[in-house]
Structure formats: C-alpha cells, structure tokens
Structure 1
C-alpha cells in the first residue's frame, strides 16, 4: 500500500463507441502486475467524494477508474447539474451503463502492468449497477454498497426508470460482496434477505454484512448519513475481498 500515485482525466470508448470522460488513478512504483477496479458513481454524479474513492483504490495497489455516466447529458457541467439532467431523463439506461463499464474495464486491462483481473464497485444506484455488470460482463469481483432495487419494486412516482434484477441474478458470474445499512429503506433488510436467498438458491458466491444503526449512504463522508464505524469496517472488508479476487 502506498499513497504515491498518478491521477488523470482520460477519455475511453463507452457504449456504442461513444467517447466518455473518466477519472483514472494509478499507484506509482512497485513491480509486478496488478488488478483493476471500476468505480460506478452514485446518482449525484462524478463528484469529489467518488474521485476520493478512486484514489483510495490506487492507494490499495489497484489501477482504478470511474467513468462519468452523465458525460453525454452535460459534458463539462458541475456534477450536481449533470445529475439533475440525468435524473430528469430517468437515469442512465442499463444498456448504456453496461457499455460504459465494459469500456472502462477494457481500458484497465489494456494498461501496462495489468494482470487482467477487474472488479467493480458501486454505491446507491451504482450498487445496483455493479450487480447488473456482474450479471452481464466478465469481471472477477463485484461489490454492492446498499444498491436499491436489485430486488423489490420502485415506488410509484420514483424518478428513475429502473427495474429489479431478479431475472438476471442467475447469470451473476463473479463473487458478490454486499454491504448494507440495517436502517435503510432502499434496500430494506427484507430486500437484502430476499437477494441473499436468490443467490443461495442459484449457488452464487456472496458475502453480506448489515450494519446496525446505519441507514443509506453510510460511506458518504460528505453527508450526515456517514457512519464512521460502519464505513471503516466496510472498507476493510472491501480491501480483503478485492485482495482475494483481484490478485495474481
């Protein structure tokens, strides 16, 4: 682990060959090959807090990248403004999301020193999207941090055009780490239990942890929902999980 790294804004080929902006962080020094991590940002967008997570994965020894899912709607706009446009459009379509993450994973695998192993992680809407990626793309590890509507049904009037992933879960091709707040409403503890049951039924490797007293967005250091103990334990579990599945 080292805090010496290089960061840059790059462009990659996303869904349908579209050029997509992305934030890249790479550790400096150290020989040998290393895995990569695609970070899927939450609905508030390609923001400072998400970029800090990308840098944290570089500190852990991975090449890490976050594609800007809202780049098409509002190139160059502030994250809040771009997110508002994306939300008004119903969010990022699933096919587009998968194409952008596929481009990000290919970018990581094409870097010098890559061992070809890529994990994906997402928070909130990104948690659901990370599970979707695990069902549709070849990745080595998936982390879902309180992703809503992997199971369950969005309430009437919900602004994002999303459906649950129950029909896709039998196709999950990578181990899944799930980190949830026991006081969360999206997903509820019952929906988390339902997800665990479906994965068990289909023989899918998974490891779930729910944190008492934590609600939604407990990893978000810039929000009142931040829970220090839960977030610190979650980061330790993420590091161990990726260390198991992305090494070698």
Structure 2
C-alpha cells in the first residue's frame, strides 16, 4: 500500500497510432511493480473511473485508463463523449484492442515496470477486459459484471456488440469474474454458460456471484452500490492481482 502517488493526464498512441488521452496514477518509490489498465464503462472516462485508477496506485501498481471516447468528442465532458460514442454504436472491438495495447505499452515503458500487466473493466469494460485477455499479452484479467461475454443483446440494443463465445478458447490470461445474482446483463444463466465454456477448454479462472447484488454493485455513486459485495470484490481483486502481477 502507498499513501503517496502522482496523477496526471498523458497522451498515448492508441489504435492506428492515434493520439488519445489517458489518466495515469503512479505510487511514489523506485520499487519494481506491475501495472493495471482500467477500461472505463460506457458512461465514459469519468470521475468514478479515475478514482479506481488511483486506488490501484494506492495498492502499489502503475495504473492507467485510456479515454476510449477521445475520438468521438475530444475534450468533451464524459457524459457528452459517452453519448456521442453510444450514438455511433459504441467502441469497435478492434479499436478497443489497439487503445489498450497502447496503454499496456505505456505502462511497460515506465521506470520500474516489471512488465506484468493486468486489465480490469466494469459493465461494457468487463466484456472488453475478457476480450483483451483473449487477444493481448496480459498477465491477468478481471471481468466485473461484463455484459455479453456470452448471451445475445436484446432487440433494439443501442451498441453494436457481439458475444465473445468464439474468442473464449483463445483466452490466455487467468480470469477473475465478479457478478451480481440479481443482474440481468449478465444474468446467472450467462455466467453459467461462460463458466462451462472456460471449464471445457481448461482455462484458469475463478468466479464469484454475490447474492442480493445487481448490476454495477461497485458503483459508489449509484443506488446499485452494494457495500458488502464491493468490499469483498476489492479484496478478491487485490489478492488476484497480487498473485499474478508481482515479481
């Protein structure tokens, strides 16, 4: 744990070598350490997500969150940028992978990096964290109630998103999944399907479902916040990254 850190907005090279903003937090000290890429939720590159980035710095990691909506509305408020991204159908998977790859490269280039990078996302970011775990070189991935890793988006769903069933056999990173029993996207049946697929393919994963918790139970600024589930979830995340990002 670190009580002192530095935070700043940096520019990184994302997909197609586009320059995008990213929020970076680093604990003070010269010790070797791992890094964490935080993938923001659909509401965007907002205060709540930046607080998560700072929490990982407090836990002793270099942490970064790329602004996935930078191209739609550079310099705009998170709500406006998210609305523009939503109107365009969301962030394409290929672009997401390019932006996260740029964030990973930025972390690995920092002084003191041990080269071991984890990725975490909530809601849409949870699905994207699983995608990253399938496609990019990361040491660990955390899916916090990511919708449509399995299952099918309902009729009229505003985002152009498909499930990741065909990608799951390629999962190369250990995966931690945290879910709410009262959630609908993903519902318990979708979580069970994901567990079955990963088991059939011999993947390294651990899932935990919280009774009485719905979607967005980590969100401290929403009525969905569930204190017990969120506190236990943070303990599991810290232990999981502690296992896979040290050394």
TM-score, structure 2 normalization: 0.99
Shift of the alpha carbon at 1:214? 0.2
Q: How do 1:84-233 residues align onto structure 2 when only pairs under 5 Å count?
A: 84-233=83-232
Aligned to 2:17: 17
**Where does structure 2 lack aligned partners over 5 or more consecutive residues?**
none
1:84-119 CA-to-partner distances (Å, cap 9, x unmatched) read 000000000000000000000000000000000000
Give the distance between the partners of 1:109 and 1:201, measured in 2 at CA. 33
Shift of the alpha carbon at 1:2? 1.3
Aligned to 1:39: 38
2:80 counterpart of 1:74:
no
Give the distance between the partners of 1:21 and 1:2, measured in 2 at CA. 25
Shift of the alpha carbon at 1:59? 0.2
2:6 counterpart of 1:6:
yes
**Where does structure 1 lack aligned partners over 5 or more consecutive residues?**
none
Give the distance between the partners of 1:82 and 1:20, measured in 2 at CA. 13
Shift of the alpha carbon at 1:32? 2.7
Aligned to 2:59: 60
SS at match of 2:120: strand
Give the distance between the partners of 1:119 and 1:170, measured in 2 at CA. 19
Give the distance between the partners of 1:2 and 1:166, measured in 2 at CA. 39
Give the distance between the partners of 1:174 and 1:82, measured in 2 at CA. 31
1:177-221 CA-to-partner distances (Å, cap 9, x unmatched) read 000000000000010010000000000000000000000000000
TM-score, structure 1 normalization: 0.99
1:157-180 CA-to-partner distances (Å, cap 9, x unmatched) read 000000000000000001000000
Give the distance between the partners of 1:61 and 1:161, measured in 2 at CA. 36
Give the distance between the partners of 1:28 and 1:125, measured in 2 at CA. 31
Give the distance between the partners of 1:36 and 1:111, measured in 2 at CA. 10
Give the distance between the partners of 1:3 and 1:38, measured in 2 at CA. 20
Shift of the alpha carbon at 1:3? 2.1
Give the distance between the partners of 1:3 and 1:76, measured in 2 at CA. 30
1:96-152 CA-to-partner distances (Å, cap 9, x unmatched) read 000000000000000000000000000000000000001110100000000000000
SS at match of 1:25: strand
